[in-house]
């Protein structure tokens, strides 16, 4: 093939793949809010989608261009494989977006590969393999067809039109986004989340210098943005301690993805019965809609927006350090691996010989492993010391249970096919499978608490049972599945049980209908049981539950790249670049609504209070 025809083949092949990629990515637009878009909004969507997708495909183009010089078989294999891989990745990204409303990224891939997000069924894996083979075949046939028909294409006309349209689209979308960002015009600025790897141009400082940007708006956006890497001062003041205390035993039992409405007599009969020995907080919210954020708040007692600061500055939780100061025997039993997210470098960084992973290939097998290992650890513990143990169950997260487990809740699906989930999917059979996995987890926790009862340990043991976050099953019929995608109650409202026979009177005085959060656990324990004398504000964002006599009207919850101010009726969600959205618990946008200024100021103070 001469250079002239090679260039034409290359160009036609790239353009066809760009069109195919645009069709695939455009499926994300089905999740646009039901707004009345004006012409400028539509123009931005068209130009930004075309220019961005074209650039994504062009990033692959050097491989294709070089491979056109290879011999036929090698040429078809390399070009077919690389282009099929791109199309498959874009398709999988749209599937991820349809379920979670975020795109594939490095962190997500690491968590998926380590089993930290989902457990893929054999059926799903088979579908992905078949899809790849099909796309590979289509790409090879497309290349062969273009090569045979290339003489019908007039030289350079297509290339000129394509380049002109691409440059114009990029310029138009960039200028429009610069203006939209400067004036916080959300129909345009919020569109970035619908395109993978899309980072549109902003120039607020330049706009301000040119006098085209309101100074007050500039400062407001700066306030909304949140730094992930600030140096921190935690605690704010040196802790005053009373070491002359009777240290209780403490057990944290956390169930991954445990949503509030699956705590009941049918689904969790054992936990429901045990809860009668303590209290259940009815409006308890996790500190995040992801495992990282949920466990962070539970152990650090501060808002989870400080995660990166603690990780980068190698700071352990005051709670864990205090347990070690008091010579607690500590046992950490997590079903999932502790290095993704980096709990071994944050929450548990000071614990020697940390148990990093569990035996078993499936979540239910790993949950058996942590239960049995905890029973062995407890049996052989040093009885002269107080002990703290943490059990983290993963079966509901993977909707996992043994094949022979009784059919408690029917009908349920044999597995969850993530490629077929949408806002039109009937969630009942998937939700029932999830409920069955919760029921299974309840049966394992029974062994732990029964063991404590048989050891007559409940009188001197504080037991906290909760979830790291919730789990959504298309509850609002808007295509949201799983977690880490919004802050409605399905993803952040979790069960919370506390059993404390040492301080029974204070426990029973808690108003169970008050709004509580994971951030409240550490200050309650440090203040009432572990001898910390400071004002709680010195080391926590939470409150002492035993002296919580006035209901708060908002709490903070966060994810990997967003945080939310949650009130009784409204959710004020802010992204890491300062864009915001206000919606209700049905995940419907609240139009023409501003966040309460006093609440907003208090929240901003809280997410920066521990910064140096």
Q: Which residues of 212-233 are buried (b: 16+ CB within 10 A; e: fewer)?
A: ebeeeeeeebeebebeeebebe
Residues of the chain with CATH 3.40.720.10: 264-552
Tokens of 433: 């499978």
Q: Is the CB of residue 362 less than 8 Å from the CB of residue 115?
A: no
Query: pTM (2 decimals)?
Result: 0.80
Contacts of 429 (CB under 8 A, 6+ apart): 411, 412, 413
- CA neighbor of 21 nearest in space, from 75, 95, 91: 91
Q: Any idea what the Cα angle at residue 185 is, between residues 183 and 186, rounded to 5°?
A: 140
The whole-angstrom separation of Cα 87 and Cα 472 is: 28
- DSSP character at residue 288: B
pLDDT of residue 154: 59
Would you identify the CATH topology of the domain 264-552? Alkaline Phosphatase, subunit A (3.40.720)
For the chain, count helices (H), then strands (E): 19, 14
The whole-angstrom separation of Cα 237 and Cα 70 is: 67
pLDDT of residue 220: 59
Successive 10-residue mean pLDDT values, the chain, 612 residues: 81 93 93 78 95 94 92 91 94 84 68 57 80 94 88 66 92 91 78 89 71 60 52 91 95 98 98 96 97 98 93 93 98 93 94 94 96 98 97 96 93 84 90 97 98 96 98 94 95 98 92 96 98 98 95 94 89 80 91 77 87 76
Q: How far out from the chain centre does Cα 231 lie?
A: 24
pLDDT of residue 227: 46
Q: What are phi and psi of 331, to 5 degrees?
A: -125, 120
Q: Is the dihedral of CA 597, 521, 537, 515 positive or negative?
A: positive
CA dihedral 87→92→97→102, nearest 10 degrees, is: -90
- DSSP character at residue 431: H
The whole-angstrom separation of Cα 47 and Cα 167 is: 10
pLDDT of residue 561: 83
């Amino acid at each position: 093939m001469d250079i002239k025809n090679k260039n034409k083949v290359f160009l036609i092949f790239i353009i066809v793949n760009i069109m195919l990629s645009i069709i695939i990515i455009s499926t994300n637009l089905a999740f646009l809010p039901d707004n009345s878009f004006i012409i400028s909004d539509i123009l931005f969507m068209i130009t930004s989608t075309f220019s961005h997708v074209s650039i994504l495909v062009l990033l692959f183009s050097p491989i294709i261009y070089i491979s056109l010089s290879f011999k036929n078989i090698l040429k078809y294999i390399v070009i077919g494989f690389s282009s099929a891989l791109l199309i498959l990745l874009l398709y999988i990204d749209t599937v991820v977006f349809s379920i979670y409303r975020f795109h594939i990224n490095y962190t997500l891939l690491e968590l998926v590969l380590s089993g930290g997000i989902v457990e893929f069924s054999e059926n799903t894996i088979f579908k992905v393999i078949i899809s790849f083979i099909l796309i590979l075949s289509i790409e090879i046939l497309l290349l062969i067809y273009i090569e045979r028909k290339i003489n019908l294409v007039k030289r350079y006309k297509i290339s000129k039109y394509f380049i002109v349209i691409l440059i114009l689209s990029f310029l138009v979308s960039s200028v429009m986004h610069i203006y939209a960002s400067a004036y916080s015009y959300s129909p345009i600025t919020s569109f970035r989340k619908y395109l993978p790897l899309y980072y549109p141009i902003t120039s607020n400082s330049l706009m301000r210098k040119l006098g085209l940007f309101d100074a007050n708006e500039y400062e407001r956006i700066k306030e909304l943005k949140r730094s992930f890497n600030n140096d921190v001062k935690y605690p704010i003041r040196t802790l005053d301690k009373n070491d002359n205390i009777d240290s209780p035993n403490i057990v944290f039992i956390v169930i991954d993805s445990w949503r509030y409405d699956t705590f009941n007599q049918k689904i969790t009969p054992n936990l429901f019965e045990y809860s009668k020995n303590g209290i259940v907080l009815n409006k308890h919210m996790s500190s995040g809609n992801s495992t990282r954020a949920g466990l962070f708040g539970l152990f650090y007692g501060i808002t989870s927006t400080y995660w990166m600061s603690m990780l980068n500055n190698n700071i352990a939780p005051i709670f864990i350090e205090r347990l070690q100061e008091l010579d607690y025997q500590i046992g950490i039993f997590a079903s999932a691996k502790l290095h993704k997210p980096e709990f071994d470098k944050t929450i548990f960084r000071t614990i020697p010989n940390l148990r990093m992973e569990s035996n078993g290939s499936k979540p239910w097998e790993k949950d058996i492993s942590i239960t049995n290992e905890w029973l062995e650890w407890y049996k052989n513990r040093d009885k002269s010391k107080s002990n703290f143990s943490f059990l983290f169950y993963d079966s509901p997260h993977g909707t996992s249970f043994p094949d022979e487990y009784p059919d408690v809740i029917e009908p349920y699906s044999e597995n969850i096919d993530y490629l077929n989930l949408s806002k039109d999917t009937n969630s009942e059979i998937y939700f029932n499978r999830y409920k069955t996995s919760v029921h299974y987890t309840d049966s394992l926790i029974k062994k732990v608490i029964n063991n404590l009862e048989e050891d007559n340990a409940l009188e001197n043991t504080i037991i906290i049972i909760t979830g790291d976050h919730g789990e959504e099953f298309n509850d609002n019929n808007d295509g949201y599945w799983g977690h880490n995608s919004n802050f409605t109650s399905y993803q952040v409202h979790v069960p919370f049980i506390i059993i404390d026979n040492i301080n029974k009177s204070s426990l029973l005085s808690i108003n169970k209908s008050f709004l509580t959060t994971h951030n409240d656990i550490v200050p309650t324990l440090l203040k009432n049981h572990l001898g910390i004398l400071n004002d709680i504000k010195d080391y926590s964002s939470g409150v002492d539950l035993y002296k919580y006599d006035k209901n708060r009207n908002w709490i903070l919850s966060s994810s990997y790249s967003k945080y939310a101010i949650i009130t009784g009726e409204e959710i004020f969600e802010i992204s890491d670049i300062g864009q915001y959205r206000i919606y209700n618990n049905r995940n419907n946008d609240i139009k023409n609504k501003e966040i309460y200024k006093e609440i907003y100021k208090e929240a901003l103070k809280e997410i920066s209070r521990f910064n140096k």
